[in-house]
Amino acid sequence: MKGTHAARIASTVADAPSFWSELGRTLFVNLGIMGSISLLLNLQRVRTIPLGYLVTFFLGVTTGLFLGTNSLVAVDLSGVPFLAGTATGLTIGGAEMLGYACLIGATARISVYERQTWWRWQERFVRVRSLRDIRLSPGEVVMLLLGVALIVGAAYRET
């Protein structure tokens, strides 16, 4: 993964001169970029499926591909610092992913644009309601706040 955009962004965040600037950069990437992508994708849906669900699918697949082995189960993590750091990273990543899932789940109903098929690329998204018509229920607001809290907590722990 060396030389990829994700590695460059991660090194920029990690090179922050202080704790608070690193936390701010981490929150900008996690909430500002990833959260915005998730919420903006939820403004569109194909039939009844919000496109924000693609983010959780992508995160699940990539996490399963890269970290989904059970090779660490029989290993005592306290003896090897690298493995202990890996376990800490997995818990932070899990909290972030759960936070994204909460954000996406809480805003799944906010779709403004809709189309009927996945495969007809010529088909346009049709506006089904206005942004002013969007209202979150109390449960959705709680879930949205829980998602933000998980992402902020994971960013704090990561920093």
Give the total residue count for the chain: 159
Residue of 143 and 15 predicted with greater confidence: 143
Q: Please return the burial class of 92, using the count of CB atoms within 10 Å of its CB with bins 0-12, 13-18 and 19+.
A: middle
Give the phi and the psi of residue 137 in degrees, each rounded to 5.
Answer: -75, 165
What is the model's pLDDT at position 72? 47
Chain centroid to CA 35: 6
114 DSSP 8-state letter: E
Highest mean pLDDT among 5-14, 65-74, 131-140 belongs to: 131-140
What is the tens place of the pLDDT at every residue in 34-79?
Answer: 889 988 999 999 988 899 999 888 887 777 666 545 444 445 556 6
Which residues are paired to 44 by β-bridges?
A: 113
What is the model's pLDDT at position 14? 79
What is the model's pLDDT at position 87? 66
Highest mean pLDDT among 59-73, 78-92, 129-143 belongs to: 129-143
Tell me the domain boundaries of the chain: 18-158
The chain-wide mean pLDDT, for the chain, equals 82
Q: What is the mean pLDDT of residues 131-145?
A: 92
Evaluate if residue 2 carries a pLDDT over 50: yes
Read off the pLDDT band of 8 (50, 70, 90): confident
Give the DSSP H/E element, type plus range, for residue 115: strand 113-115
Which structure tokens are listed for 82?
A: 């690298």
What is the model's pLDDT at position 138? 94
* Residue corresponding to tokens 């809480």: 106
Q: Please return the burial class of 39, using the count of CB atoms within 10 Å of its CB with bins 0-12, 13-18 and 19+.
A: middle
What is the model's pLDDT at position 145? 95
In our burial notation (b when 16+ CB lie closer than 10 A, e otherwise), range 68-87 reads: eeeeeeeeeeeeeeeeeeee
